[in-house]
Amino acid sequence: MRGTADVVVIGGGVLGAATAFELSERGHDVVLLERALPGRQGSGTTAGNLHIQAIHPERPGQDVPVDTARLLPLQREASLLWDELEARLDADLEVTRSGGFTVAETDAQERALREKHRWERAAGVPTEVMDGDSVRAASPSIGPSVRAATYCAWDGYANSLLAIPAYLRRASGLGARVYAHAPVRALDRRPEGTWLVTSDAGEFEAPFVVNAAGPWIQEVMALAGARIAMAPIAIQMHETVRAGRLLEVLVQHVGRGLSVKQVRTGNVVIGGGWPAGALRLGDYTPIDERSADGNMSDARRIVPAVSALRLSRAWAGPLAATPDEMPVVGAVPGHDGLFVMGGTYAFTFSPLWARTIAELIGRAAPAIEVDDLGPGRLLSPSTVGHRQEAVI
Give the integer Cα–Cα distance in Å for 30 and 305. 48
Confirm or reject CATH 3.30.9.10 for domain 96-153+231-321, answering yes or no.
Answer: yes
Provide CATH 3.50.50.60 ranges for the chain. 2-43+161-229+324-378
Confidence of residue 391 (pLDDT cuts 50, 70, 90): very low
The per-residue pLDDT for range 365-374, each reduced to its tens digit, is 999 999 999 9
By mean pLDDT, which of 21-25, 26-30, 79-83, 231-235 is the weakest?
A: 231-235
SS3 304: helix
SS3 string of 107-176? HHHHHHHHHHHHHHHHHCCCCEEEEHHHHHHHCCCCCCCCCEEEEECCCEECCHHHHHHHHHHHHHHCCC
Give the integer Cα–Cα distance in Å for 352 and 75. 9
For residues 297-301, give the mean pLDDT: 95
Give the integer Cα–Cα distance in Å for 9 and 22. 12
Confidence of residue 392 (pLDDT cuts 50, 70, 90): very low
The per-residue pLDDT for range 113-130, each reduced to its tens digit, is 999 999 999 999 999 999
pLDDT at 381: 76
pLDDT at 316: 85
- ∠115-352-322 over CA atoms, to 5°? 65
Is residue 307 over pLDDT 50?
A: yes
pLDDT at 382: 60
By mean pLDDT, which of 176-185, 231-240, 241-250, 332-341 is the weakest?
A: 231-240
The per-residue pLDDT for range 222-255, each reduced to its tens digit, is 999 999 999 888 888 999 999 999 999 999 999 8
- Cβ pair 258, 250 in contact under 8 A: no
pLDDT at 384: 39
What CATH number was assigned to the domain covering residues 2-43+161-229+324-378? 3.50.50.60
Give the integer Cα–Cα distance in Å for 215 and 41. 9
Orientation of helix 68-89 relative to helix 160-173, angle to 10°: 60
Provide CATH 3.30.9.10 ranges for the chain. 96-153+231-321
Is residue 205 over pLDDT 90?
A: yes
- Cβ pair 35, 183 in contact under 8 A: yes
- Cβ pair 238, 225 in contact under 8 A: no
Give the integer Cα–Cα distance in Å for 197 and 277. 33
- Cβ pair 183, 12 in contact under 8 A: no
pLDDT at 95: 96
When the pLDDT of each residue in the chain is averaged and rounded to a whole number, the result is 92
The per-residue pLDDT for range 57-114, each reduced to its tens digit, is 877 777 788 999 999 999 999 999 999 999 999 999 999 999 999 999 999 999 999 9
By mean pLDDT, which of 82-91, 127-136, 263-272, 334-343 is the weakest?
A: 263-272
Give the integer Cα–Cα distance in Å for 375 and 392. 19
pLDDT at 257: 83
